[in-house]
Structures are given as C-alpha cells and as structure tokens.
C-alpha cells in the first residue's frame, strides 16, 4: 500500500519547508496541529492539536528518519493513542521531498510502509489531498482552507 502525490507550489522551497515544520505553517496546513520535535534523525515527534472533545490530543507520533532543511523530511508514524488501542503496532512512513522547479517548488508526498491491515489507510488517502492543497494555498496566499468542519 502506497499513497503518492505530486503538486507544484508557486513558492520557494524555503517557504514550503516552513509550511512543513514551523509552528505557524503546521497549524495552517495540518488542521490546527503543531509539530513538536527537535528534528534530529532518530528524535521523536508528535502532531498535537485540537481533538474532537475540544482539548488537545496527539494525532500522530513517531520518529524522524530524515531531516534535510528545504529538501526532505521523512518520519515513521503511528496514529495517536486516542484513535486505536493498538496504535503502537500500527506504522507507516511519510516522506516529503522538495525540489526547485523554475520559480516554483515541486512537492512530492509519499506515504508507504503501511503495517498490514492498517485501519488508517482510508482516512489518510482522504486527508493527504487536503493537506497538500492547504500547503499550496498557505504558501501562495497566506490563507488557510476551510473544509467546513
């Protein structure tokens, strides 16, 4: 199982990188969540943000596999503890790659290495297009998308 998306963003790789790792960027493009990590290879990370009960929750967590500013971010990922009792057994890999392309940036997102029978595959296949659309919109306009939730 593999999800792969490519999109072109009318912004520099540095601006797209900001959307992926800065507190302001991640809140704008990851549904109000912020990414917490030291970003060293092997370091833990968490996307923490609003939960369904209104409080904060850990939506996903894992470990940093690659961190090359302006170029590549990759991490292993588990769903947050509030989603599945066996969250620690469920794993995927997420990789963002950025490449300059003329005056814009080619953004490639690959979500692979899914644990067999991972129940989050369907949700991810619906959420990733929203995330990359949000990255594009935020980088190009400074605005966030309203998905009506």
Domain layout of the chain by residue ranges: 3-141
Average pLDDT of the segment spanning 89-106: 96
Computed on alpha carbons and rounded to an integer, the radius of gyration of the chain in Å comes to: 15
- The pLDDT of residue 149: 63
pLDDT tens, position by position, 102-137: 999 999 999 999 999 899 998 899 999 999 999 999
Q: Show the CA angle centred on residue 94, arms to residues 93 and 98, nearest 5°.
A: 145
Q: For 3-141, which CATH superfamily applies?
A: START domain (3.30.530.20)
Q: Is the per-residue pLDDT at 145 higher than 90?
A: no
| High-pLDDT (> 70) share of the chain, % | 98
* Residue among 132, 128, 130, 147 nearest 11 (CA): 132
Is the pLDDT at 77 greater than 80? The verdict is yes
The pLDDT assigned to 146 comes to 81
Give how far Cα 55 sits from Cα of 52, 69, 110, Å.
Answer: 7, 31, 30
Residues 105 and 6 sit within 8 Å (Cβ to Cβ): no
pLDDT, tens only, 2-20? 999 999 999 999 999 999 9
């Amino acid at each position: 199982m593999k999800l792969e998306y490519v999109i072109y963003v009318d912004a520099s790789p540095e601006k797209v990188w900001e959307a992926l790792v800065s507190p302001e960027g991640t809140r704008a493009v990851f549904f109000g969540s912020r990414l917490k990590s030291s970003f060293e290879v092997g370091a833990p990370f968490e996307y923490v943000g609003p939960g369904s009960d209104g409080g904060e929750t850990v939506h996903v967590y894992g470990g940093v596999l690659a961190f090359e500013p302006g170029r590549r971010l990759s991490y292993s990922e588990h769903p947050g503890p509030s989603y599945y009792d066996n969250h620690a057994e469920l794993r995927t890999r997420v990789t963002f790659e950025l490449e300059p392309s003329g005056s814009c940036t080619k953004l490639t997102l690959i979500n692979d290495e899914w644990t067999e029978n991972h129940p989050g595959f369907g949700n991810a296949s619906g959420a990733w297009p929203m995330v990359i659309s949000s990255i594009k919109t935020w980088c190009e306009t400074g605005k966030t998308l309203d998905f009506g939730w």
